[in-house]
Amino acid sequence: MKVETFTIEGPVLITPKLIKDDRGYFYESWNSNSFADALGLAPEDAPVFKQDNHSQSQKGVLRGLHYQLPPVTQGKLVRCTYGAIFDVAVDLRIGSSTFGQWVAAELSADNHQQLWVPAGFAHGFLVLSEMADVLYKASGFWNKACERSLLWNDSQLAIAWPLETMKPILAEKDAGAPDLDEAVAAGDVFS
């Protein structure tokens, strides 16, 4: 497996090793020991996933930016098994030197890449293909009381969503989410 880090500490882009032959391909999409090694952790310190999620969305759907505050935070290991998405992680750790900065990767069924979005980050994605299936493992259970959203187009974040001529299709909660300043004022960030 190939592991790439970003200028922001925490998120990691993982490209699995594909074993291909005339029948198709095989790869390990999850291996606790390999994942711990990729994060520089002892095997026993690898994140434990409690929930798997699967979403299917049409082109132009923008989901996010979502996160969960303590006591039920979520780290997410995200992959796209059909189509392609622009996947984003925003640093919401108030003491971090990269607070409010973001990283992104195009995840697709063709590149098989996965983005690790640790707790302390908001996560969202834009569907680039006609349809996309996104699967992600979550390290914590969904908890409505801990769930928050951050405004996807906050000018302070300046995320370079590849919208081109698309108008994003948003859920009501995402369209009306607070911006970064409002999240900070409400205490809805990670200390």
Q: Is 82 a catalytic residue?
A: no
- Of the CA atoms within 13 Å of residue 157, those in its CB half-sphere come to 28
Q: What are the structure tokens assigned to 105, written together?
A: 């990767």
Taking a C-beta distance cutoff of 8 angstroms, is the pair 80, 134 a contact? Answer: yes
Tokens of 98: 């990269």
Residue tagged active-site, from 25, 66, 82, 112: 66
Element (H, E) at 185: helix 180-186
Q: Which one is catalytic: 67, 112, 123, 136? A: 136
Q: Are the C-beta atoms of residues 136 and 56 closer than 8 Å to each other? A: no
- Secondary structure of residue 121 in the 3-state scheme: strand
Q: Say whether the peptide bond before residue 65 is cis (omega within 30 degrees of 0).
A: yes
Report whether 66 contacts 152 (CB < 8 A): no
Angle ∠(136,19,30) on CA atoms, nearest 5? 25
54 flagged as catalytic: no
User: Which residues carry out catalysis?
Assistant: 66, 136
